[in-house]
């Protein structure tokens, strides 16, 4: 995956994760798989930090879904 596509994917995930809920029509497992696939390609420290924040935000949603 090239740098520009990776950046676009991270930006998209940041936007989506900030707007979804555990009751959204697309399951959280889909977004978990998307984050995981992008994180495999991340190399730059700033991108690593952004992926960490995405993982934390999604983990919070996943936790709420369990309750």
d(CA 61, CA 8): 23
Please report the pLDDT score of residue 28 as a whole number: 95
pTM over 0.75: yes
Please name the residue that has the structure tokens 């992926």.
Answer: 51
d(CA 54, CA 57): 5
Ranges of the chain with pLDDT below 70: none
Q: What is the 3-state secondary structure (H, E, C) of the chain?
A: CCHHHHHHHHHHHHHHHCCCCCCCCCCHHHHHHHHHHHHCCCCCHHHHHHHHHHHHHHHHHHHHHHC
What residue ranges do the domains of the chain occupy? 3-66
Please report the pLDDT score of residue 23 as a whole number: 85
């Amino acid at each position: 995956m090239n740098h520009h596509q990776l950046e676009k994917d991270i930006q998209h995930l940041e936007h989506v994760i900030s707007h979804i809920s555990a009751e959204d029509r697309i399951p959280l497992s889909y977004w978990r798989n998307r984050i995981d696939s992008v994180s495999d390609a991340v190399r730059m420290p700033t991108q690593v930090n952004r992926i960490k924040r995405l993982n934390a935000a999604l983990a919070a949603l996943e936790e709420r879904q369990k309750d």
